[in-house]
Structure 1
Amino acid sequence: MLLFKPSLLTLALAAAGASISAYAADDVQTTETAEENIEVIQVTGIRRSLQESQSLKMSSSSIVEAISAEDIGKLPDVSIAESLARLPGIAAQRLDGRANVISIRGLGPDFTTATLNGREQASVNDNRGVEFDQYPSELLNRVVVYKTPDASVMAQAIGGTVDMQTISPLTHGEQTFAMSLRGEMNDLGSLNSGSEDTGYRGSISYIDQFADDTIGIALGYARMMSPNQEERWQAWGYPENAEGDSVLGGAKPFVRSSELERDGVLAVFEYAPNEQFTSVVDIYYTKFTDDQRLRGIEIPAAWGSNGGVSALTTENGLVTQGTINGAEVVVRNDVNKRDADSLSIGWNNKYTINDNWRVEADIAMSKADRTDIGMESYSGTGRGTGVGAVDDLGFAYNGDGGYDFTHNLDYADPNVIKLGDPLGWGSPLGPNTQDGFINKPEIEDELNSFRLSAEYIFDEGAVRSVEFGVNRTNRDKSKLDKGYYLTLAGYDGSDNYLETVPDQFLLSPTSLDFFGMGDVLSYDSLAFYNAGGYTETDVADVDLSRATNSWAISEEVSTVFVKANLESELMGFPLTGNVGLQAVHTDQSSDGTVATVEDGNVVLTPRTAGDSYVEWLPSMNLGFEVADGQMVRFAAARTLTRARMDKMNANVNFSYNENPNDGVNWSGGAGNPELRPWLARQYDISYENYFSDQGYFSLAVFYKDLENYVYDQQSAFDFSTILPQGPDDNPIGLVSQPQNGQGGYVQGIEASLSLDFGLFADQLEGFGTILSGSYNDSEVKETSDSAATTLPGLSEKTFNATVYYENAGFEARISSRYRSDFLGEVTAISLTRVNVNVKAETVVDAQIGYDFTESGIDALYGLSVQFQVNNLTNEPFTSYTGEDARHVRDYQNYGRNFMLGANYKF
């Protein structure tokens, strides 16, 4: 058997210019020998990335997975989330065609924590989950996923911790200038008037050292203008008809064109005047804008069609063909726009007092802001139902992405389709006066932290060292959720007032041929709105639930920790690892409102509530080297993940019933500012066999015993605590609110293999493969008699496969990732988030390139070119309602993205 050679891995790590985060700093050993021989082995491209990732996995005291950059500014995939989704036990959910959030070991984004250089990050998300497409991959050096925590990890979570790491300029050790530029094209073309199907992404990085290598800097800038096109079919639902068959309730198909613009800036300043002291300041900033134009048509069927549906054909309980009689449709011209900014600043200082004592101080700030605009603009043939021209629409199930239609009206004719409220969806200024709607939510999130720690190193004994310290984190996050009904500014109060789209806002018609509806009227609805085309009515003035959508959460978390690092022998086997304990004190509070209706108006009263608690989190990681290059690891820990912030708000809305049947006068809905975190006891065992410097096999089994879970439950509530004078009758009522309830378990098994085919024959030199798979299972019940709760983000099966070739400058790679059905979180009406069933998918990416450094042409040294195809097989994203996968809720066809570009480094 070929045995693992530690010197080669250490050499690869040093050659990559690695900067290890606080998590792994004590686990990776560097030697003068490796430094002296750094030019003996030339490792480049994919293989260098694999070697460094393997060395990180091998040398860590925890069970980890890692991704390393092939070169400066060159991670393996276009986005961090796509790279993470190739790791064992990790799956990504796509948003608008790009990987956005991840699940680790079957636990969704709510159970995952993201850090940058070991520091927890604020999020533009409504909750805590980080949206990884906010982080340009060009500015990151590596990503490490910690599946088991230790006591020094301040931002641990039940699912796992994703640590994104920037480069250390002093460890890199040489002056480097790198740039990249690539063009991008989507093969669906420009689906909407004025949209683009081409874009670009580029980056530039500079690393240098000064003053006898005591000062180092790393500067980087990345910019992306990425097009995205989508053909999308949505259904209202599938009610049962009189015969008990499921029939289409209605549909909302459309095409979406978006332009994603992102700018990222990185700056790292490192100062090491001597071997005892190191000070590092790192700054990471991104600005993210996503401008989406959506044009389509909304079609009532079994729900809302005046003439009903007829001439039905049924197959296995589903109506697959028929006619919608007298259909009144709504032509939609919508806009979704997001502006988001993220800023992270950290300052880390390490000082070695003597051979036994080290101290460290770290201070950091992470801030994120987001502003959304979600606008809907309606047009049709009349104001309200039973007024305008109607159409008889044929529909037929296409077996994949919903239904295909036939039609008779010309939906692109501005003399037929006019601005108004065709279906009477709202009455802010009288009957049928909702001509559109606009949502304007805003998110602000700020997280400040300070950590002070020390390490005492023993001269001898089984305990190599003891670390201890304190960490304080303050977090403030708020959401201001504003929404407005839109009514045409020229509306005169007449029953059938419609308005022809002004010529200056008209655009070329949009084709909906992908499901048979031909062209539809297109106009710049946002420009019409900005020009004063609509008047606004605040939804919060008339809607109780909307009045309590805004909230503010504050958390103060103080952590005291101690960890003993072990290095000994047990029964003749070398033993490394750690045992430790955290004491975590949390003080949480929320500012919200109490909302009720008086004389037809919503009345708001401020409310503040919260709680404080202490949790004890022990942890243990043990690694046994059972043979050369073979490691068996055991890990056990108690972990916590803090509750969703939108569940922790202090809002209450309620109503009073004078004559209740159950004797309860007061009822309503509320958040829960006293909500406790999810807690779990987790156990892991893994076997890792490193049989070469670029090859390993690992097998891991895990079990997470969830102590609790959060359910929406009805509970008794004392209304005298929120009403100024208290109720005259019984103050105890019922509210529906999230509560900590009974838990359950998540368990699974993972396997991965990295193999260099050159081990078997010289003719296969340069070929290799990376394979991984996992199986997850869970059972979480509200009560012992209730049905099991489906965990968001849990796919029972995931598989990843990459085959690559790299030799003499040529590089080729094809990668495939599969995840089975899962419960995903998507955007619903009014930009709210809901859980839906997502269909299994297999996403395939491919790339090919050449590095001219290997060509022998001096003038081209440092230049490489690359061609990539994302979503090679054009895999759609499909969600469905209920258990029948034919009940397609949402079918999204993104097309393929092609990229051609070059990288240059000197």
Structure 2
Amino acid sequence: MLLFKPSLLTLALVAAGASMSAYAADEVDTANTADENIEVIKVTGIRRSLQEAQAVKMTNSSVVEAVSAEDIGKLPDVSIAESLARLPGVAAQRLDGRANVVSIRGLSPDFTIATLNGREQASINDNRGVEFDQYPSELLNSVVVYKTPDAALMAQAIGGTVDMQTISPLKHGEQTFAINARGEWNDLGSLNAGSDDKGYRASVSYIDQFADDTIGIALGYSRMQSPNQEERWQAWGYPNLDYNDANPLVLGGAKPYVRSSELERDGVMVVLEFQPNDQFRSVVDVFYTSFFDQQRLTGIEIPGQWGAGWANSGITAIETENGLVTKGTINDAMVLVRNDMNTRDADSISAGWNNEYIFNENWSIEADVAISKVERTDIGIETYAGTGRGNGNGQVENLGFTYDGKGGYIFEPSLNYADPELIRLGGAFSWGPDAERANFQDGFINKPEIEDELQSFRLSSTYSFDEGAISKIQFGINYTNREKTKVDNGYYLTLKGYDAVTNPDYMLTLPSQYSTGSTSLAFFGMGDVLSYDALRFYKDGNYNELNAKEVQPERITNSWQVEEQVTTFFVKADLDTEVGDIPLTGNFGVQVVDTDQSSKGTAVSKLDDGTIELTPRTAGDSYVEWLPSINLGFEVAENQMVRVAAARTLSRGRMDQMNSNINYTYNPNPSGADPKWTGGGGNPQLRPWLARQYDISYENYFSDMGYFSVAAYYKDLENYTFNQDQFVDFCTILPSDPNCGDGLGRVSSPQNGNGGYVQGIEASLSIDFGYFTEVLDGFGTILNGAYNDSEVKETDDSEPTTLPGLSEKTFNATVYYENSGFQARISSRYRSDFLGEVTAISLTRVNVDVKAETVVDAQIGYDFSESGIDALYGLSVVFQVNNLTNEPFTTYLGDDERLVRDYQNYGRNFMFGANYKF
């Protein structure tokens, strides 16, 4: 049965493989018809990418969204995450000015899984979520977002599955060589002395077929050196003035700075395809990226109300507005100048080998083996300088401040913080690991390391029926083994000239060879400050180091190893029949998921004498979950589809919460009802999030140039993860401790608690106005929006929990024009307030409230292939502006949006480039 009666254009796109194999391969007659006529169809650029994406959505049995490349090496956006964020129900969070991770249908990146060519990917972060800027968009042909799963989709999640796909050289069907190059610059300029505000992107792709089109090859290489600048206001917090609830809130302290980054990324893509006949097909694909991000940060720490008594003598309020001190003076203020450097060095490789063999008209078999591996090393160094060592020493000033109306403050200094004779290296505040070493800390360096390896093997068979309501049955087994390890290294830094007894006031005048000049902090009034190459200064051996693990037990328990072995048995039946006169297609099936998880960690206790006691600990769990699913599509009218879907889905717990580490204390004489054993840590028995989800959608494909769809969903969360107390037998943790049987102990750890629901509605509209009249040929628009709502409670009597990643409203709009080689487009994406995950002290991650934002991008270009100039055939040029309206990224504390935690101004990024294909 032929669904939708697709047009010649849609058939051509499907047959050519442009729709990423989402169209059923068994529609042989349809594909052959398209092959016979494909030479008369010419669709390029924006409209081609939209039509290919529409073909995927139209022909898939699940509820999906798709993004397709405009041409070889040309996805619609410079970032995969930005392209995804333009889809209905999908929202991106920016990191350092670029879209980095996505939330689907109001659920955080923890509930989203990413695959490459259908295979789950290892990730460079501490959890499972894939950071999409790791994958060069130039090397990807398309991306499909599965909002409803089916039983044959091995990597599924409650939010959705994002499948990135490389090109098939045999389906591409012609020899192609493409080169893309773009220059890039940021309009904030070089904020840090010694940084660069210019960069470039370049890629080259080669696709060819050999041996009578039985062997295909696709090769791609991309290189990016992208600058990024940022002016950041960051607050410590907002306590009450004089710590009295009757007094207004006041600035507790601030850490504003300017950041200059340079991201270097190299990517390599190789696809080898062999299909000697209609029965056998073999594909090997390799995707490699090398990712190096270096950030130089220059700023200043200004203790406010929280610094009273040790960094200043208090705050005098001059003006107050609606309970917030908006103008005042920090009396006898002492501040700390910071020069920091962050680097991230990550390598990832994904490789797979897929084989398909068709025995006869009914039977076929498929085998797939793959590996995905990531290695990451971070460095986060902070170094200090000031007018004197330790609290109360050095030159001070009365520092005025005024609220700027955007969430930050403007300061009025009288000292010259760029003077190397006044501002010298050393700890301006009495910071250190303990009271005995209060003036010990002149800096700190974090060096976490991550390794993540995921191996998979899949074997499946398909039986096609000659007739009947069930068109085919697919069944098989999928096995994955994943091991992720984190080693968290951190060191206190002390200048080598310092000695607490013989040289307690030691400060170092900056050696000239490390100076980078002065850096302006004028955006919040502080003027120029001393700046230098902190990482080089450290690497040259100017600091003594103290391993933080020797004094901080939590450092030890930040290191862990988690391993998962997952075996999935699945069966799926495809439907192709009629209910009355209504064509019905779809599928139903079930997965049986057998999981064995374990973790290696450490039980840690700091004894009264200051020594740290370590006990290795290994723990885990095993379980089986049944995941049924059904997807039904009713063609209620020509090219109009109603889809209904239901499934039980799971998202595995955060790997950084599944560790077996525990910090504990033993008190033989506890007070009250407290147990003798108390502690906190991870939970190696943590089970996945589970949900029963229900979907219904209506899709109207009124032309090849456009469609309208509306969808509603409801996700009944069976559980959610909360940090809760649990009573455990400490003999299972410390079997050799003579006191382990001394009553049950209380341990605080992530637990599977009560559930709740997430629900929402989405609508999207894509129109090429040439559908209505030739006068508007080339003009078009894409509009979509979503509304999300949730209620999750820890207990029946508690207040609803705010779910990370959930924006109540999202909206995207794109207006484009494409005709006679000329192309122009402007796009905006809106996301309402949400709870986001950001970096905190020691490179840890915390959830904070993120303010609503609207990000606007624009581009114009021209394709000389339509100019009539033969010498320029295949050449096109493009000019892009990202963040056209310079939208800031803002996080805040509490319910008052004036209490800004971070205000990040990224500026605009401009790109101009050329593409050549032949």
Which of 523, 531, 553 lines up with 1:514 in the alignment?
523
**Are the counterparts in 2 of residues 287 and 342 from structure 1 also a CA contact under 8 Å?**
yes
Equivalences for 1:19-58 in 2 at 5 Å? 20=20, 30-58=30-58
Q: Per-residue displacement from partner, 1:833-880 (whole Å, max 9, x unpaired)? A: 000000000000000000000001111000000000000000000000
Distance 2:28 2:304 in 1: 63
Distance 2:880 2:37 in 1: 35
Question: What is the deviation of 1:735?
Answer: 1.0
Corresponding residue SS for 1:37: helix
Aligned residue for 2:235?
235
Aligned residue for 2:452?
445
Q: 1:569 to 1:62 in 2, by over 3 A?
A: same
Corresponding residue SS for 1:167: coil
Q: Per-residue displacement from partner, 1:157-215 (whole Å, max 9, x unpaired)? A: 00000000000000000000001001000000001111110000000000000000000
Q: Per-residue displacement from partner, 1:766-790 (whole Å, max 9, x unpaired)? A: 0000000000000000001001111
Which of 808, 821, 825 lines up with 2:833 in the alignment?
821
Distance 1:11 1:155 in 2: 28
Aligned residue for 1:62?
62
Equivalences for 1:832-871 in 2 at 5 Å? 832-871=844-883
Aligned residue for 1:258?
261
Aligned residue for 1:489?
496
**Are the counterparts in 2 of residues 10 and 29 from structure 1 also a CA contact under 8 Å?**
no
1:396 matches 2:411: no
Distance 1:279 1:123 in 2: 27
Which of 609, 624, 628 lines up with 2:634 in the alignment?
624
**Are the counterparts in 2 of residues 447 and 473 from structure 1 also a CA contact under 8 Å?**
yes
- Residue type of the partner of 1:412? A
**Are the counterparts in 2 of residues 19 and 171 from structure 1 also a CA contact under 8 Å?**
no
**Are the counterparts in 2 of residues 16 and 52 from structure 1 also a CA contact under 8 Å?**
no
Question: What is the deviation of 1:318?
Answer: 1.1
- Residue type of the partner of 2:474? E
Which of 457, 465, 472 lines up with 2:472 in the alignment?
465
Corresponding residue SS for 1:10: helix
- Residue type of the partner of 1:757? F
Distance 2:909 2:772 in 1: 36
Distance 2:26 2:692 in 1: 26
Distance 2:751 2:24 in 1: 37
Equivalences for 1:771-782 in 2 at 5 Å? 771-782=783-794
Distance 1:570 1:641 in 2: 34
Question: What is the deviation of 1:427?
Answer: 4.3
Question: What is the deviation of 1:388?
Answer: 0.8
How many residue pairs match? The answer is 904
Q: Per-residue displacement from partner, 1:552-580 (whole Å, max 9, x unpaired)? A: 00000000000000000012100000000
**Are the counterparts in 2 of residues 758 and 765 from structure 1 also a CA contact under 8 Å?**
yes
Corresponding residue SS for 2:479: strand
Which of 777, 793, 796 lines up with 1:784 in the alignment?
796
User: Runs (4+) of structure 1 moved beyond 6 Å?
Assistant: 26-29
Distance 2:371 2:249 in 1: 53
**Are the counterparts in 2 of residues 16 and 48 from structure 1 also a CA contact under 8 Å?**
no
Distance 1:602 1:21 in 2: 57
**Are the counterparts in 2 of residues 4 and 691 from structure 1 also a CA contact under 8 Å?**
no
Distance 1:28 1:198 in 2: 50
Corresponding residue SS for 1:53: helix
Structure 1: any 5+ residue segments left out of the alignment? Answer: none
Aligned residue for 1:124?
124
**Are the counterparts in 2 of residues 4 and 692 from structure 1 also a CA contact under 8 Å?**
no
Corresponding residue SS for 2:158: coil
Q: Per-residue displacement from partner, 1:772-821 (whole Å, max 9, x unpaired)? A: 00000000000010011111000000000000000000000000000000
Equivalences for 1:13-24 in 2 at 5 Å? 13-14=13-14, 17-18=17-18, 20=20
Distance 1:274 1:734 in 2: 65
Distance 2:688 2:23 in 1: 23
Structure 2: any 5+ residue segments left out of the alignment? Answer: none
Corresponding residue SS for 2:887: coil
1:276 matches 2:279: yes
Question: What is the deviation of 1:668?
Answer: 1.0
Which of 484, 487, 490 lines up with 1:480 in the alignment?
487
Which of 416, 420, 424 lines up with 2:422 in the alignment?
416
**Are the counterparts in 1 of residues 730 and 740 from structure 2 also a CA contact under 8 Å?**
no
Corresponding residue SS for 1:747: strand
Which of 292, 297, 301 lines up with 2:295 in the alignment?
292
Moved more, 10-19 or 827-836: 10-19
Which of 796, 808, 814 lines up with 1:796 in the alignment?
808
**Are the counterparts in 1 of residues 22 and 60 from structure 2 also a CA contact under 8 Å?**
no
1:540 matches 2:549: yes
**Are the counterparts in 1 of residues 865 and 874 from structure 2 also a CA contact under 8 Å?**
yes
Distance 2:273 2:38 in 1: 23
Question: What is the deviation of 1:659?
Answer: 2.3
Question: What is the deviation of 1:391?
Answer: 1.5
Q: Give the RMSD, CA atoms, in angstroms.
A: 1.4
Distance 1:25 1:333 in 2: 58
Aligned residue for 2:155?
155
**Are the counterparts in 1 of residues 317 and 325 from structure 2 also a CA contact under 8 Å?**
no
Distance 2:347 2:398 in 1: 48
Distance 1:573 1:852 in 2: 47
Distance 2:755 2:279 in 1: 48
Equivalences for 1:337-736 in 2 at 5 Å? 337-427=343-433, 430-493=437-500, 494-598=503-607, 599-661=609-671, 662-723=673-734, 724-727=736-739, 730-736=742-748
Distance 1:869 1:837 in 2: 28
Q: Per-residue displacement from partner, 1:601-655 (whole Å, max 9, x unpaired)? A: 2222110000000000000000000000100000000000000001000001111
- Residue type of the partner of 1:606? P
Distance 1:741 1:89 in 2: 26
**Are the counterparts in 2 of residues 28 and 56 from structure 1 also a CA contact under 8 Å?**
no
Q: Per-residue displacement from partner, 1:754-774 (whole Å, max 9, x unpaired)? A: 011112221110000000000
Percent pairwise identity: 73
Moved more, 702-711 or 496-505: 496-505
**Are the counterparts in 2 of residues 5 and 693 from structure 1 also a CA contact under 8 Å?**
no
Q: Per-residue displacement from partner, 1:455-480 (whole Å, max 9, x unpaired)? A: 00001000000000000000000100
**Are the counterparts in 2 of residues 21 and 118 from structure 1 also a CA contact under 8 Å?**
no
Moved more, 596-605 or 851-860: 596-605
Corresponding residue SS for 2:431: coil
